[in-house]
Amino acid sequence: MRAQELTLIGFGAIGRSVYQRMLEHVGVRITHIVVSEGKVAALQTELGSGVTVTHQVPEATPLVLECAGHTALTAHVLPALRRGTECAVLSIGALAEPGLPEQLQAAAEQGGTQLHLLAGAIGGSDAISAARQAGLDSVTYIGRKPPAGWRGSPAEALVNLDALTEPTVILDATAREAARLYPKNANVAATLSLAGVGLDNTRVRLIADPGVSENIHEVEASGAFGQFSLRMRGKPLADNPKTSALTVLSALRFLHNRVAGLTL
């Protein structure tokens, strides 16, 4: 069977990890990597002739995986979808921008193709999406980090992060508002929102907790199906502590399922 050819958008921590882990995969072959124009030459020299580094998605590519950040959706994914190129994206938080989900859907329909929103660092989106078919009443996401994890965010203007002695809520709002104010948490909240009751009906609670040392994700949902709760303590990649291991594994799962005889 001929290998599935893939264009990878972005070569930061996630893109590099995906590339390295797919080098020996017999069913999927990364043929192109898209980066900013000023980085093309240096990255081509680094990676050699086994892959083509470019600043645009090739028109003939059959599949695109985006792991570059929010601006890549408008710069690269939208045009690719309109041309009929199937795309998968990890930067789900970008879909909190009003009108962008509709633009992406329209582009996919225009091109007669599909856009896949990958689960990334959170689990349970499949269960929430299934439960939505019978009716969901509520979905709540709770993000808990040690106080230092909120440095550089609006939380610094609300509380003294260095002086906290107990868990403190720094935001209780909709997923859309959470994505606007805390974009580093946008992907998880937006993924759950799009799977369930939408950005304006999903509640997000962000907590600075001096009693934890990890980033903790909690999801609660209720509806006609019953009730659902999930708690995850995500570990970073062993070779890059700034990147969630599950985000990369989510992309690898998608790519594996493209060529596997049995998928789950």
Q: Which residue has the tokens 């990676």?
A: 47
What is the three-class DSSP state of 87? strand
Choosing from 32, 55, 217, 256, the catalytic residue is 217
Name the β-bridge partners of 240. Answer: 237
> d(Cα 11, Cα 53) in Å, to the nearest integer?
10
Instruction: Note if 217 is an active site residue.
Output: yes
Cα angle for residues 80, 58, 55 (degrees, 5° grid)? 95
204 touches 143 (CB < 8 A): yes
> d(Cα 221, Cα 141) in Å, to the nearest integer?
9
> d(Cα 35, Cα 57) in Å, to the nearest integer?
10
Q: In the chain, count of helices (H) and strands (E)?
A: 9, 13
Active site residues: 217
